[in-house]
Amino acid sequence: MSLFAPALLSRTEKLLAALRSRKLKLVTAESCTGGLIAGLLTEIAGSSDVVERGFVVYSNEAKMSLLGVPANVIELHGAVSEASARAMAEGAIRNSLADIAVSVTGIAGPGGGSAEKPVGLVHFGCAFRHGETAHRRFVFAKADRSEVRLRSVVAALDLIEAQFDSAATRLA
């Protein structure tokens, strides 16, 4: 029995097949999801030909040492920010053999939020090797920790799919 809903697994299987058909590799850089995105992707048998690796970078030190997120990005903008999400995705590309990276950093709660950065705030990045880095921001209001994390997994898939579809259109 999977941790993930059948519809989400089916959707993930289709995404992996689309990436596989283009011979593209994917890397994850996860903070608040703690590896759930990579867990979902690798729940699918045969995903190893698409999933290149996953980084769980929960601490600021991990973001800096494993992904090369500049210290000044975290100091100026915070670990939960557009700048950090972009730097995480770009660092995952630099530090892997993947073609596409997805990153997530947020405040899952129940504590840790502020008026400026509330619990449920999550930033996502999606980078293509030799391409631009996309960003999305969500506030999953009134969601508990597990729901913020699971909704973040779905939002990360949404972003990968959108960026992949956009790239495929440009290449067609």
- Which CATH number covers residue 76? 3.90.950.20
**What confidence tens digit (pLDDT) does each residue in 113-170 have?**
999 999 999 999 999 998 999 999 999 999 999 999 999 999 999 999 999 887 765 5
Q: Is there a domain that residue 33 lies in?
A: yes
Give the type of residue at 94.
Answer: R
Tell me, yes or no, if the pTM score tops 0.75. Answer: yes
Q: Is there a domain that residue 1 lies in?
A: no
56/72 Cα distance (integer angstroms): 21
Domains of the chain: total? 1
Instruction: State which residues form the domain around 83.
Output: 6-171
Instruction: Kindly give, in sequence order, each residue whose CB lies less than 8 Å from that of residue 149, ignoring residues fewer than 6 positions away.
Output: 32, 33, 34, 36, 108
Q: Which two tokens stand for residue 78?
A: 């915070």
**What confidence tens digit (pLDDT) does each residue in 37-56 have?**
999 999 999 999 999 999 99
